[in-house]
Amino acid sequence: MGRKYFGTDGIRGRVGQGPINPEFVLKLGWAAGKVFAKTGRSKIIIGKDTRISGYMFESALEAGLVAAGVDVAMLGPMPTPAIAYLTRTFHAQAGIVISASHNPYCDNGIKFFSAEGTKLPDDIELAIEEQLDRQMTTVDSAGLGKVQRINDAAGRYIEFCKSTVPTGFSLRGFKIVVDCAHGATYHIAPAVLEELGAEVVVMGAAPDGVNINQDVGSTKPQALCERVISEAADLGIAFDGDGDRVLFVDRNGESVDGDEMLFIIARDQIRTSGSCSGVVGTLMSNLGFEHALQDIEVPFARAKVGDRYVVELMKSRGWLLGGENSGHIICADVTTTGDGIVAALKVLFALVDGGVPLHESKCGMNKYPQIMVNVGISDKSKLDKNPVIEQAVNDVEQKLNGQGRVLLRPSGTEPLVRVMVEGENSELVDTLAHELADVVKEAVV
């Protein structure tokens, strides 16, 4: 049964358009409340990032849940992974996040966590969608949900983050620039690093409702690169708007992406415990990352793009580490979902305890040049079994001579197909990517 509203990461869109409007979100809260209330008196936690529309949708969800007879605990602005953690610790039936992650402020979204702090099972999402088609009603006044605000949520999550590194771990002597993207980590990440002893230079920590991800954060690290150099800092850390992604910048102002971070963590696991069970990446993970893991004898597997698929493959393999080159990293030994702060601490522990600076640690992995070209396409079915495109892909693979990869990936959110080519020779890769994109463009018109 197909979903009408839920995508791979909740429901997301432009504020005021489609389902991302107050009327729909009110009913979504009610529908979710009715589904969870079937198990008895329920409590659901709500958190949000720093978008101006978050206040509106927070109120709408609260009203819908209360009308369904569900108690509500309000967290205010909190990172997405914090909501997953607090859902578990408060024994709530679900957690709801109001966020559009790395998107601009004019977008927003709603996603859910289960009582275990994981994505909702398919049957629950489908049950909520089925409930959305019914007439909204309100329980008797005596059965209305009650609302409370959790005032110590930030402190609880800060302590959790610090607990993911060994007791006694210290960042004393480190100067770190932290870019919070004017998002949900603005009052959390600096505190975690300062309490662990680092000298912290903070940027992107003055949210005003409309500046989230604006020229800052993990999707736009240039400002952080420049700041690390001007401050003569040891490194920089950039989060995205909701705090589930993280990227590093070394002392030379060079970005360190999710693939490189995963490699550093995996290699450190071998140093500290003697082994790493395996790492799950995605179809977009760099070939150089795969080869680097092979060199240290760590198993590797690729999932479809999206943290949901990464987690599924991790569970099926029994592995505890996975993520995407975007910096969405899941450390399943300590948490249930992608967590930027936790992943950052894992990398920092590897650097401090291993005694090797970031710019040297990443040298164990040589990234292959990777070029991606977006091609507009209105009908993605035209890609399927297209002989012209198939021949063009085969031609590119032959020219790469076994030393590269080709990937055509339709976007899940835009009318685009992403044409990706990677290999050892950057000039050849760039030429082949654009040649293949031209063939795709001609074939799908």
Question: Which residues belong to the active site?
Answer: 101
> Please, are residues 94 and 354 in contact by the beta-carbon 8 Å criterion?
no
> Please, are residues 419 and 437 in contact by the beta-carbon 8 Å criterion?
yes
Tell me the C-alpha distance between 106 and 335, whole Å.
30
What is the dihedral sign for C-alpha 254, 210, 99, 71? positive
> Please, are residues 122 and 148 in contact by the beta-carbon 8 Å criterion?
no
In the numeric block, which tokens belong to residue 237? 């850390």
Q: How far is CA 343 from CA 24, 208, 223, in A?
A: 35, 27, 21
Tell me the C-alpha distance between 42 and 174, whole Å.
45
DSSP conformation letters of 342-363: HHHHHHHHHHHHHT--HHHHGG
Tell me the C-alpha distance between 293 and 266, whole Å.
8
Q: How far is CA 99 from CA 81, 109, 212, 302, in A?
A: 12, 5, 11, 27
Q: Is 231 exposed, middle or buried (0-12, 13-18, 19+ CB in 10 A)?
A: middle
Spell out the alpha helix ranges (H) of 335-424.
Answer: 340-354, 358-361, 387-400
3-class DSSP assignment, residue 333: coil
Tell me the C-alpha distance between 27 and 134, whole Å.
10
Tell me the C-alpha distance between 387 and 299, whole Å.
34
Tell me the C-alpha distance between 358 and 348, whole Å.
9
